Structure formats: C-alpha cells, structure tokens
Amino acid sequence: MSGAEAGSGKGASGTGFGHSPKRLVAELGILLLAIVGLIFAARGCAGYASTAIVAVIPPDADAAIGKTAGEAMRAQHGLSGAPTEDQKARVDRIFEELRSSLTDEERRVLVAPRITVLKDDQVNAFALPGGEVFVLTGLLDRSKDDDEELRGVLAHEIGHAVKRHGVRSLARNALFGLTIAFVVGDLNDITATVIAGASQLDTLRYSRSMEEEADAFGVDLLARSNKSPEGLARFLESLEAMPVPELLSTHPDSEERAKAIRERMRAGK
C-alpha cells in the first residue's frame, strides 16, 4: 500500500465513520425536536377527532362510564367513614337548586344526575360522565357555611358533565396515544421520556380549556338560578391564597379564572 493510499484510508476512517460529540448532540437535538413537533401535531389532530367522535356517541354511554367509575369511587372511600347528615342535606339542597335550572337539552345530556358526598380531607369536587358529582368533605370544611362558594363549585362541576369533558378527555387521550404509537413505533429511553413529558403537558393544556368552558357554564347556570357567581370567583382566589395541590394540578390559573368570571358578571354573560 502506498503512502498516499494509507493517508486516504486514514482520512476515510476519520471522517466517514466517526462522529464528533458536537455532531452527535446536534443530531440528537434535531431528532428530539422532530419528535416534539410530531407530538404537538398529533395532539391537535386528536383534539379535533375526539370532538367529532363524542358528538356521535349517545349520552347513555357517558352514564355507563360514569356508573362504573362512581361505584369504584364509593368503594374506595367507603372505609374512610361517612359524611354527616347535615353535610349531605346541605349539598343535596344546593345541587337540586342548580339542577332545576337546567335546560331540556342539558337534562338530556345528564342522563344520570346524582350528588354524592365522600368523607375525605382533600379540598375537591369532581363530576363523572353522565352527571354524578362528587363532593369531598374537605371542600365543605374549607367553604364552612358559605353556600355561595359551594354553589359556585357545584355549578362549575355540573358544567364539566354537561359539556361531556370526561368522555372527551378519554377519547382524546386514547387517540393521542394510538397516533404516537402508530407513527413513532419503538422508542429508546430518551424519546420515550420526551413523549411522557409532552403527554402530561398536553393534559394540562386541554384541562385549561375545559376549566374555562366549565366556568362559563357555571356563571350562566348561576344566573339562571338567580344566584351570584361571586362565590365561585372567591373560591378560586382562595386557592391562590392557600394552595391546594389536588385542585391546582387540574384547575390551573385560578386567579385569572376568577378575574374572567367577574368580567362575565359585569358584561351580563
């Protein structure tokens, strides 16, 4: 082998088969950016598709999903004791006040309206598909005897059920996961971590949209009931003054939401 040939071989080995650390970092960065872009594109497509899918699913499906989840929730909290009769009576009264102001169309969506109080120190309330609303005793303790606050929270939760947010979330998350799995296929540990983080962000962003929609519904329902939405705004502000991790994880931007509620009140919407 000549000296020229040897030099040529060395050059090929140095440039053709080796990669500098900077180049590896750049290539990895491009790969991760492509994956993130794909994730956000899939998220948007899943959102549009889930809305269309849920539109053709009858409300009876919501009730079936909610029944299963409700039974599991009651069994889970059954060992914690029971709320007092006064607590149950208070929640029942306010729930019935709000339910009486629902329109016929809203009643058709809430095929299984029900209010359940669970003994739990968490400050929370949530609605299941079909219309069952759960109130934890921690929320009752937090609101004390302020019925206006409790009424605002319940109106908001009824909004989640009427707008079918639970079923929409299930459909969207399922479509999102299937899309990523189909397009990306097998992933290494790094890209899997990126997707997991983006999936959490996706849930948060979609949750914000649903929370705003439930707030708007709550304001309207309270107005139809001749009640003020001020209690809901006040409760949201209290979350900023005394944060509640369980709520803030799915009810973000509480102060901004309280401001938006008061703006709707002033605008008469």
What CA–CA distance (Å, rounded) separates 117 from 124?
11
Residue 157 is a catalytic residue: yes
What is the distance of C-alpha 158 from the center of its chain?
15
List the catalytic residue out of 149, 157, 211, 256: 157
Active site residues: 157
